[in-house]
A = this chain, B = another copy of it.
Amino acid sequence: MAHIAVVAGDGIGPEVVAQARKVLDAVVPGIEATEYDLGAARYHRTGEVLPDSVLDELANHDAILLGAVGDPTVPPGVLERGLLLKLRFAFDQYVNLRPSRLWPGVAGPLAAVKPGEVDLVVVREGTEGLYAGAGGALHRDTPAEVATEESLNTRHGVERVIRDAFARAARRERRKVTLVHKTNVLTHAGSLWARAFAAVAAEHPDVTTEYQHIDAAAMFLVTNPSRYDVVVTDNLFGDILTDIAAAVTGGIGLAASGCINPEGRYPSMFEPVHGSAPDIAGQGVADPVAAVLSAALLLDQLGHPDAAARVTAAVGTELAGRTPGAPLRTEEVGDRLAALSVA
């Protein structure tokens, strides 16, 4: 039986993770879970962000379920780089998977877009690009200061994530992949991405392809999000596009994500896109839907696609039954989703 690590984290993290686990237990009884105390609380208590020993232990799990880490009291970047990005890189989670759906019952911000019309997934590269940490500064704090950030892109890294995107597209109804980059300005990386994309596309004559510059894609996500099926892009562009996609489908409060090592050599990590929301923590009013959808991605990755589909369908039922603006109780939503998932 699978053994997952649970990092409930800070703020509303523990509240929403509890519901995700409730749902997991309901649909696939017997998944073992070990809790790891990481995040702002531990950082303040011990100064530790992610001890090597914990990293080694995490490596011995089949997957990681994460709630949310962070707090305004922690200096910016400490947990982001020391924990989230560290795990993505250490566990070679090169597929950063971010589905966006405009669910029936959810009021999106776009006047012309109806629920059900948006159903896309961004396959964001997770281990390269401007996130590589290559950069530096000279003459810091003087008028002569120069600071650099380098985007590193390898054929190895680019091709494997494009391959994953095409494989996903081939399993979807519309079978379309959009490559997003900025080939007219970032000519070296852009050319590498475009050539790798063309090579993989040639192996998938059944999949439709298109290319868009990042600025155009950001615009079309607002004016016509329905046009997208699978979007593949680099680490930074994916960071930006997925927040726009979340915005047009009702906000990051509903957005799930997976940082996936598809080969399973290392554990994949699943987490809601939202943060720890300290302002509403402890009140039992956080929406657990994003955490539950992240658990569905986890189930899919662990080889339980049917259970994943049941959980996703349960979320659909839950959201369709909501009255916009009505208050919700975290626990009750979790109970309903668990019940719906096994109904």
Interface residues of A, Cβ cutoff 8 Å to B: 76-77, 80-81, 85, 107, 109-112, 130-131, 135-137, 139, 141-156, 182-189, 191-192, 195, 214-216, 218-220, 222-223, 236, 239-240, 242-244, 246-248, 251-252
Contact = CB atoms under 8 A, between A and B. Distances in A.
A21 B139 CA distance: 47
21 contacts: A76-B183, A80-B185, A81-B185, A109-B112, A109-B223, A130-B185, A130-B186, A135-B151, A135-B187, A135-B189, A136-B188, A144-B155, A145-B155, A145-B192, A182-B239, A185-B236, A185-B239, A215-B243, A216-B243, A218-B244, A244-B244
A149 B147 contact: no
A184 B76 contact: yes
Nearest to A251: B223
Contacts of A183: 76-77
Contacts of A246: 219
A175 B41 CA distance: 37
Q: Which 6 A-B pairs rank lowest in CB-CB distance, beginning with the nearest? A: A222-B247, A145-B155, A147-B192, A111-B111, A215-B243, A147-B188
Given A109-B223, A192-B137, A153 B147 contact: yes
A139 to B, nearest CB: 8
A109 B189 CA distance: 33
Given A109-B223, A130-B186, A149-B188, 15 more contacts: A76-B183, A77-B185, A109-B112, A135-B187, A145-B192, A148-B153, A150-B150, A185-B236, A214-B239, A215-B242, A218-B240, A219-B247, A220-B247, A222-B247, A222-B248
Contacts of A189: 135, 147-149
Contacts of A143: 155-156
Nearest to A246: B219
A89 to B, nearest CB: 12
